[in-house]
Amino acid sequence: MREKKRWNLMPYVWLLPSIALISVFVVFPIAIVFKLSFSEISKAGVVGEFIGLRNYTEAVNLPAFKTVMANTFWWVISVVGLSTLFGFAIALVLNEKFAGRKIARSILIFPWATSLVIQASVWNYIIKYEYGSLNSVLLNLGIIREAINWRSTYQIEFVWECACGIFVTVPFVAFCVLSGLQSIDRSLYESATVDGAGFLSKLIHITLPLVRPALSVSTVLNIIYVFNSFPIIFTMTKGAPANKTDTMITFLYMLSFYDRKKGPAIALSVIGFLILCLCAGIYMVTVMRKEDAA
Amino acid sequence: MNSSSGRRGNLISLIFIMVGLALTVLVMALPAYTFTASVYTKKSSNTFVGDEKYTQVLSEVEEIAEGYRAQGMDVEISENVTERTNSKGEKTSLVAFSISESFKKSILSFICSALPSGTVLGVMLVLMASSLLLSLLGFFGSRNETGRSLKRRPAVLRTIASLCLLISTLLVPVFVLMNNYLFWRKVSLFTGDLITEGRDVFFAKLDGFLFGGKMGEGIGDALKNLNMSFHPIVFLMILTLAVAGIASIQLRYGAIKKKLLRVLLYAFVAVVCVITLYPYYVMLITAFRSNAETLDMYFLHLLPTKWRWSNLSDIVSRGVPRFLLNSLMIAGGATLLAMLCGIPAAYAMARMNFKGKKFFLGFVIMSQMFSPVVLLIGISQLMNALHLNDTILGLVFINAAFNQAFAIWLLRGTFVAIPSEMEQAAKIDGCGTIGSLVRVLLPMAAPGIVTTLIFVFINAWNEYTISTVLISTASNRPITVGITQFSSFNMIEWQYLFAASLLATIPVVALFMVIEKHLTSGLTSGGVKG
């Protein structure tokens, strides 16, 4: 209790380096982005005077805006949704005891550890029409008779991008859920088996409620990571043709560094930032509630 | 299982078996394939439909067709008109007549044709039929018994039946491979004169199967336009397999349930592992192939024909060691900085009580939300102002800042899990707060600290987006940006791209495996406990 009076300064000194680092390199850029979004910016990046919301209206009125927002929506929903589904299934299996489980876990960690640019480059090669590995393997196995154009339309290319996104996201979900599963008391299942519960009712009444915290943390984090994901789309299509496969993040990058339309790009940054704030808010509530419960 | 449900189970199996047998007979007898081959083509230039030349050629073609009909072939004449306007503005027309024969073949005739895929199909069907017959025998052997006390002989019969079925199911992919690869690829390679060895024997077999030996020497040309279409009957075959499978499982379900689930589990794990490893396999073999081989769709080998280690020395001369060194400096520096700032903060969060603790936690978690991409423009402005643009130091700061949240998150979880009594004892013994942190807590928290360290390192090593924007000097590029120099719009040097990727991937995958065990517990629970 004597320490109570000595609180006032010491903890803050301990926090200072961290706060300084985050403030300068995260918070300060946020402030810059906000300020710039209301200013006129030339193509070379010279900041002009205050122009109110003109950057925002310009951004919203860009011809590609609607497509890009829809793409972003589908990108996040499909990648997060399907990778959660697959990740959950894989975690359930990895939670069983079987020979080679350690090896399987190690293999599954590969996509998580690999840089997204490298992942995307490899998939880019795999699905090439003329000489891609997938066609070559299928032809040589005799499963197909002629090479298939795996990326004939931009919709299909976008599906491939989502598939690649799912591929790299599944391990994260699987390991989060696995950590939740491993904390479940085995005796719960045993007594449920005695009571005559089948696989499905055990899943619904025991597993799901108990891994829900782990699942919700991984889902919200995933929404944020996937929304922010840049390298897959940038490497595989660069948003081509005509922004048809862009998500918000790649779109604002192209806008700002290729098309030199800094004004609308910055306005889009702020819009993206606000969307993320919303997700972050939900996340905070989830985490805090869990903290209170613990 | 009581006796009545046992009997009902047996009855259902019987029905399935009968249906399966009936389907098998049907599948064997009905025509399954339709082949269309053009046996004769005649092109006539400067011919318009309906003119004099047209009628003349048509009658010639019909005469030939009659000849074929006299041999007992079912032929049809079709014509294909190509009209073009030439450079002088005149219309030209080319009429191509072809006589084609279409014929239906049943699976039975395919089996009798002595073609390799037919043999496989035959073995498959025989196994399937015998499986069904054995099941039937097993059924009658145990008709008057309850499911519980099957006699040994019927049980053995049923096990053999299941085995037969399993083998015949496993033959399905073999058949598909044989049919597509050994049949169609071979046909196209033979007709394209790409294979000369064994040519005559192969053609003679095909001639016998398709045309009943009528084509003779002309078989090579006839095959050039060969087409095949399946009848829905082939799907019946798949249905038969399914029915037989159900019958067999139904009979032995109680006994094999556990093993069956085990097999399914391993199959699932195997599929997941194969899909996961596939890109790495592609990366590995492509990294050691020649440029010509990377662009060859008909590359038939699982491994490079000749391992080109020179690819590695080529990328060394193109700056890859420099990129790797840069990545090492960026990731190492960022890790050091993140830990130097993160450990005190995590310590304060775990061990001290103060106003605004929740606020700070929120602040940290919020900073984790924002990928640098959204803030790219702000960051590049900031870097300009600090004169850190295009420097490795700038990337060190950015990576450290954006990994701060995760570092504090993981470290705090580790610290909280360690009881504080030891530190208090150390303090009583005369250590200050810093002393007790360094001498007592840090050694005890070593596994958690190593986990955090490696995690931050990997994140910084794999970072790509910020680096592409901030770094313009080639010699300052980290490896993730460096590898993109091997892919330009008109040419991608895949072998170099993947060789460099391989070098960039191996160390982080190895590091990740080290921390895998600790990471799972730290990710979701560690950060929020306490």
CATH code assigned at A211: 1.10.3720.10
Instruction: In whole angstroms, give the CA distance from residue B408 to residue A179.
Output: 20
User: How does residue A85 score in pLDDT terms, banded at 50, 70 and 90?
Assistant: very high
**Does residue A8 lie in a domain region?**
no
Mean pLDDT computed over B391-411:
89
Instruction: In whole angstroms, give the CA distance from residue B128 to residue B76.
Output: 38
Mean pLDDT computed over B258-287:
88
Residue B96, φ and ψ in degrees, nearest 5? -115, 120
Find which of A171-180, B1-10, B290-299, B357-366 is predicted with most confidence, using mean pLDDT: A171-180
Mean pLDDT computed over B282-302:
77
Both structure tokens of B462? 């794999």
CB pair distance less than 8 Å for A276 and B299: no
Number of domains observed in the structure of chain A:
1
* Pairing state between β B75-85 and B91-106: antiparallel
**Does residue A291 lie in a domain region?**
no
Average pLDDT of the residues of chain B: 77
**Does residue A19 lie in a domain region?**
no
pLDDT of B184 strictly over 90: no
CB pair distance less than 8 Å for B341 and A21: yes
3-state secondary structure chain A: CHHHHHCCCHHHHHHHHHHHHHHHHHHHHHHHHHHHHCEEECCCCCEEEECCCHHHHHHHCCCCHHHHHHHHHHHHHHHHHHHHHHHHHHHHHHCCCCCCHHHHHHHHCHHHHCCHHHHHHHHHHHCCCCCCHHHHHHHHHCCCCCCCCCCCCHHHHHHHHHHHHHHHHHHHHHHHHHHHHHCCCHHHHHHHHHCCCCHHHHHHHHHHHHHHHHHHHHHHHHHHHHHHCCHHHHHHCCCCCCCCCCCHHHHHHHHHHCCCCHHHHHHHHHHHHHHHHHHHHHHHHHHHHHHHHC
pLDDT of A114 strictly over 50: yes
- Residue A120: predicted pLDDT: 92
Average pLDDT of the residues of chain A: 83
CB pair distance less than 8 Å for A21 and B382: no
B483 contacts on A by Cβ (under 8 Å): 117-118, 121
CB pair distance less than 8 Å for A22 and B367: yes
Q: Looking at B166-180, B371-385, B439-453, which range is the least confident one?
A: B166-180
**pLDDT (tens digit, 9 = 90+) per residue, A117-157?**
999 999 998 988 878 888 888 776 666 767 788 888 888 99
- Tracing tokens 């560690």 back to the chain, one arrives at B526
Sheet bearing B75-85, strands edge to edge: B75-85, B91-106, B31-45, B227-230
**Does residue A288 lie in a domain region?**
no
Chain B nearest C-alpha distance from A31 (Å): 8
**Does residue A20 lie in a domain region?**
no
CA B96 to chain centre: 43
CA B104 to chain centre: 35
**Does residue A202 lie in a domain region?**
yes
CB pair distance less than 8 Å for A122 and B458: no
Q: What is the residue range of A205's domain?
A: 78-239
C-alpha Rg value of chain A to the nearest Å: 24
Residue A49, φ and ψ in degrees, nearest 5? -90, 175
CB-count burial class (<10 Å; 0-12, 13-18, 19+) for A41:
buried
Both structure tokens of A227? 């929304």
Both structure tokens of B219? 């078989």
Q: What percent of chain A has pLDDT over 90?
A: 17
User: How does residue B400 score in pLDDT terms, banded at 50, 70 and 90?
Assistant: very high
**Does residue A196 lie in a domain region?**
yes
Chain A nearest C-alpha distance from B463 (Å): 7
Cut 0.90: pTM above it: no
**Does residue A162 lie in a domain region?**
yes
**Residues in CB range of B483: below 8 A, 6 or more apart:** A117, A118, A121, B323, B497, B500, B501, B504
Find which of A146-155, B28-37, B278-287 is predicted with most confidence, using mean pLDDT: B278-287
Pick from B341, B352, B469: CB nearest A18: B341
CB pair distance less than 8 Å for B182 and A280: no
- Residue B329: predicted pLDDT: 94
> Do B410 and B451 form a contact (C-beta atoms < 8 A)?
yes
| ipTM of this complex prediction, to 2 decimal places | 0.88
A108 contacts on B by Cβ (under 8 Å): 272-273, 276
Q: How many cross-chain Cβ pairs, A to B, lie less than 8 Å apart?
A: 301
Both structure tokens of B485? 């120099």
